[in-house]
Amino acid sequence: MDNVLRYPGDREMERGDDRYYYAAGHKFEKDKLYTVEDYDALPEDTRVELINGVFYELYPKDEAPLTIHQRIVMEVSYRIRRYIDEKGGSCEVFPAPFAVRLTKDDRTTVEPDISVICDPDKITNRGCEGAPDWIIEVISPGNAKHDHVRKLSLYIDAGVREYWIVDPHKEKVVVYRFDSDDPIPSIYTFEDTVKAGIYEDLYINFAKI
């Protein structure tokens, strides 16, 4: 069982006890499946996600998001919000930290970098209950596997309509449109203008970010 998203250095072995794994400085039992109640009981500043009962840290402490990561999250969120306002739309945009409980089970809570939610019934005081229509993840150092593999599968199964993976280091954007007939992702560079699939005329020009 792949209980830990392994960043450089095996943290369980370093601490000398393979019964446990560590995420964001907290110790968890490998043989235990945790719930959203356990997630909610963690200190507010604990940056982890809960996937199928296992905790994964969003990034190691020594690899916190760089300025470019935060700039992309801010600017893309702003452009989506401005578009919705101009069109008189009802969807809402939430940048991280924002808890998303994708399914009705009690073992998964994630924090996408940007969530676009068009069903107001999914929005609660605690975050989002159900799949957002559009999720954007901006890769930070050390979490590429998490976004490209583990969360990709999770978002497909949950019913997310569209998923973008933005890589500021390679200056690429991978776009999945799960509600289309074409499962093959489209790949763009930061010199491209990328169209949002869930809208008819929303384009994000990464060259201007």
Per residue in 76-113, pLDDT (tens digit) is: 999 999 999 999 999 999 999 999 999 888 999 999 99
Range from 101-105, 129-133, 138-142, 145-149 carrying the lowest mean pLDDT: 138-142
Provide the whole-model pTM. 0.89
Give the residue, 25 or 10, on which the prediction is more confident: 25
Q: Specify the pLDDT at position 58.
A: 84
Question: What are the C-alpha distances in Å from 195 to residues 79, 111, 172?
Answer: 12, 23, 14
Q: Looking at per-residue confidence, does 50 or 13 come out higher?
A: 50
pLDDT exceeds cutoff 60 at 12: no
Q: How many CA atoms lie within 13 A of 184 on its CB side?
A: 2
Comparing 6 with 151, the larger pLDDT belongs to 151
Looking at residue 32, its pLDDT comes to 95
CA proximity to 122, closest of 96, 90, 147: 90
What are the structure tokens assigned to 205, written together? 């020009």
Query: CATH second-level architecture of 63-208?
Result: Alpha-Beta Complex (3.90)
Tens digit of each residue's pLDDT (9 = 90 or more) over 32-47: 999 999 999 999 888 8
Tokens, residue 198: 């869930």
pLDDT for res 61: 59
How high is the pLDDT of residue 1?
37
What pLDDT, on the 0 to 100 scale, is given for residue 63? Answer: 62
Higher-scoring residue by pLDDT: 5, 79: 79
Q: Is the pLDDT confidence value at 4 over 60? A: no
% of the chain beyond a pLDDT of 70: 89
The three-state secondary structure class of 95 is strand
Q: How far is CA 170 from the centre of its chain?
A: 18
Query: Phi, psi (5° rounding) for residue 173?
Result: -130, 120
Question: Could you tell me the residue ranges of all domains in the chain?
Answer: 11-61, 63-208
What pLDDT, on a 0 to 100 scale, did the predictor assign at position 11?
A: 43
Is the predicted pLDDT of residue 115 greater than 60, yes or no?
A: yes
In angstroms, the Cα distances linking 42 to 34, 46, 55, 160 are: 12, 7, 11, 27
